[in-house]
Structure 1
Amino acid sequence: MRSGKIGIRRERLCLLLAVLASLFLVSACRDRGAISYKVIYEMDRPAADETASPSEAANSRRYKIGVVPKVTDIAYFDVVKQGAQEAAWDLDVDLLYEGPSTADPDEQIEVIRGLMEKRVDVIAVSANDPKKLVPVLREAKEQGIRVITWDADTGPEAREFFVNMADPETLGRHLLDTLAWSMGEKGEFAVMTGQLSAANLNEWIDWIKVQREQFYPGMKLVEIVPNDDDPKKAYEGAVGLLKRYPGLDGIIGTSSVGPPAAAEAVREAKRAGEVRVVGLSTPELMRSYLHEGSAQAATLWSPKKLGYLTVVLARNMMLGMLPYDDQTIANVGNIRVHGDMIIMGEPLDFTKDNVDQYDF
């Protein structure tokens, strides 16, 4: 009997332990079941605010970048647009390439306001006026939009950094060198520029003047003629120069529409080789004039690379990656950084001997 009672007690104890164990397992499974479901769900579809690090969350965003040229529908900025589009495709960002129809600061301000309304993440602008654009760009910054400049700068308080094509001193001095070599370092010359308020153009002209004073006392600058980046105005300006200065020996164009307009005017006046033409423009615009001798040299960088670099640096900035000196940028090359100015590279010269090697 005693052994029977012990057996009953053991059965009751086992039953009690089984009940307690089952209650424990049910409770644990309820808790763990909820956690397990959540973990599996987040692995399949991670929530950026709970599982991703800030850098991972940033990488998963598709940024919207607004790029604003000085003016639309001229060859130089059309090629910049091609480069910007390629970078947007490569980096999977949305590109809004929008500019004014004329090189008018007020019209450019309206374009910027339109991009602000579209809630872009970055505005990258080639400024028509370094001062007029400051207030609207500061408004954009106050709204949380990042701002950079490229091609032509504003006041530094309006942007984070400036993407420059080439060192301004190097470029300005080099432009006068190319003209001086073709003029025999003596004679009268004029400068055809874009907007009189454009900071980059004015800086290049300042260095042209310095180079003349230091190295070419036999050369005389007779006039600086603006054309507002308008091909028709540029042509009219060149025709006017040839009439006002019958003894003119050379013309430097500091905006892309200037040199081809000057070369066309020289060709029509049958003064090819007598009036030398150099300056900043694309190989495509200058090819025929270089071959026939209406122009002697064109200088530029790759506008396509400039557009590509601008979009890359804008997107990197959104990821918390700022440019640094000697950084290698895919499809561009090594860049230089001087304070808050990024320099893409050195200028290239195009002559009748090498212009056919380039297709922009």
Structure 2
Amino acid sequence: MKKRAVLGVALAAVLALSGCQGGQSGQTEENKPAETTAAVDKTAAGTTNAGREAANDPQEEKELNILVMPKLVGIPWFNASDVGAERAGGELGVNVIYAGPTQADAAEQVKMIEDYMNKGLDAICIAPNDPAAIKPVLNSARDAGILVMDWDTPADKEDVDYSVNSVDPVEYGQAIWDCLVEAMGTDSGQYAVITGGLEAAGLNMWIDAGLEYAKVKYPNLELVTERIPSDEQQQVAYQRALELVKTYPDLKGIIGVSTPAPLGAAQAIQEKGLQNQVAVVGGTLPNDASVYLKDGSMDFCIVEANPETLGYATAYVAAYALQGKEIATGLEIPGVGPITVQEDGKTIILGPPLIVDGKNVDDYDF
């Protein structure tokens, strides 16, 4: 946390020298940052390259407007990301707008992006529900001189300037399958995968990586059906898990991919009293998983990162890049630490996955 203060001051100073309004935390009432939840139409920012260059002119005052869009609002993971993104905006003196659809709807994401672009944006950071569906609007944004990033879930690499990832997707997928085998107590048997949405690129990357890994390391695992969508809803995942244990009485494990999925699966296992028969693992938040981890309804929670940290890092990288600063391996982000940038120069990795179980869940408060 001390590092956050030091680097936050340094970056805020850079933003101030670039003609941006606001400043670092601890500023006077006269110089406090703009409210991060305000609408972007209060800014006079342009959306062209010329507009971005003006932001770097010490003679021009221009507030940076950064849209951070989740796949949907209202679920714990993205609620926590919202806190981090807006906190970064306040500390850096930039206007962070955190907005997204109430359902995992790519068409609604496109509409919202277009509306915000018309009001004036400097950066768009999106967790896409469908990379193909948002491609045209992201290309339009880049043509207009807007910095485009993805976070949490990747868009097509050619459509973004940077991609902020909590973990390496291959490493994460492999960790999930390792945890499944450990929880099952065997490397053979039937299992199923409940995901968020079938078009979610990030979820598919993790699943694909895990399935390829299992072919080599765990060839006796049997996937009983294709990945099952839950529409990013715990109740739907719960229903799908009930259907699975009824249809496949020899089922030994369920993997939940997307934060509501393992919670719904664990809820079903708890209700049926199958803690010693069906293992449940997946990626969700320790606070939400705690009750299930402690009673054995869920065996492992494989956490990408603290979602608040992910939201903070996303807004931080956007602000840093808008100032023309180099995004490279070793860049220290407050509260995150040094990042890794892969060879493509776009893909940013924040750290390794965190494995949480019933014994250590109380060590984490998110």
Whether the TM-score (by the shorter chain) exceeds 0.5 is yes
Instruction: Show the counterpart of 2:359.
Output: 353
d(CA) in 2 for partners of 1:86, 1:133: 27
d(CA) in 2 for partners of 1:325, 1:79: 26
Q: How does 1:126-145 map to 2 (within 5 A)?
A: 126-145=127-146
CA distance change for structure 1 residues 305 and 276 in 2, over 3 Å: closer, same or farther?
same
d(CA) in 2 for partners of 1:112, 1:55: 24
Residue 268 of structure 2 aligns with an amino acid whose one-letter code is A
- Paired residue for 2:319, among 315, 320, 325? 315
- The 8 Å contact of residues 153 and 200 in structure 1, kept in 2 or not, is answered as yes
Instruction: Show the counterpart of 2:308.
Output: 304
d(CA) in 2 for partners of 1:222, 1:57: 62
Structure number with larger C-alpha Rg: 1
Instruction: Show the counterpart of 2:67.
Output: 66
Q: Alignment RMSD, CA only?
A: 1.9
d(CA) in 1 for partners of 2:118, 2:232: 28
Q: What is the DSSP-based 3-state SS (H/G/I as helix, E as strand, rest coil) of the residue aligned with 1:132? A: helix
Q: How does 1:29-108 map to 2 (within 5 A)?
A: 55=56, 57=58, 61-108=62-109
Q: How does 1:125-164 map to 2 (within 5 A)?
A: 125-164=126-165
d(CA) in 2 for partners of 1:139, 1:166: 29
Instruction: Show the counterpart of 1:324.
Output: 328
Q: How does 1:171-250 map to 2 (within 5 A)?
A: 171-183=172-184, 184-223=186-225, 224-250=227-253
- The 8 Å contact of residues 277 and 295 in structure 1, kept in 2 or not, is answered as yes
d(CA) in 1 for partners of 2:237, 2:192: 13
CA distance change for structure 1 residues 356 and 322 in 2, over 3 Å: closer, same or farther?
same
Instruction: Show the counterpart of 2:296.
Output: 293
d(CA) in 2 for partners of 1:294, 1:307: 29
- Paired residue for 1:333, among 327, 333, 337? 337
Q: What is the DSSP-based 3-state SS (H/G/I as helix, E as strand, rest coil) of the residue aligned with 1:133? A: helix
d(CA) in 2 for partners of 1:47, 1:119: 18
CA distance change for structure 1 residues 90 and 54 in 2, over 3 Å: closer, same or farther?
closer
d(CA) in 1 for partners of 2:83, 2:55: 32
CA distance change for structure 1 residues 222 and 324 in 2, over 3 Å: closer, same or farther?
same
d(CA) in 1 for partners of 2:206, 2:150: 17
Residue 308 of structure 2 aligns with an amino acid whose one-letter code is K
Instruction: Show the counterpart of 1:119.
Output: 120
d(CA) in 2 for partners of 1:47, 1:165: 29
d(CA) in 1 for partners of 2:163, 2:55: 26
Relative to the length of structure 1, the TM-score reads 0.83
1:304: how far off?
0.8
CA distance change for structure 1 residues 77 and 47 in 2, over 3 Å: closer, same or farther?
closer
- The 8 Å contact of residues 58 and 319 in structure 1, kept in 2 or not, is answered as no
- The 8 Å contact of residues 59 and 319 in structure 1, kept in 2 or not, is answered as no
1:59: how far off?
9.6
Query: Going by fraction, where is helix more abundant, 1 or 2?
Result: 1
For structure 2, list consecutive stretches of 5 or more residues without a partner in the other structure. Answer: 1-16, 20-53
Residue 162 of structure 1 aligns with an amino acid whose one-letter code is S
Instruction: Show the counterpart of 2:9.
Output: none
d(CA) in 1 for partners of 2:233, 2:119: 29
Instruction: Show the counterpart of 2:43.
Output: none
Residue 315 of structure 1 aligns with an amino acid whose one-letter code is A
Cα deviation digits, residues 132-187 of structure 1 (max 9, x gap)? 11001111222222111101111123211111111111001110000001112121
Runs of 4+ in 1 over 6 A off after TM superposition: none
Residue 193 of structure 1 aligns with an amino acid whose one-letter code is T
For structure 1, list consecutive stretches of 5 or more residues without a partner in the other structure. Answer: 1-45
Q: How many pairs align?
A: 311
d(CA) in 1 for partners of 2:260, 2:99: 20
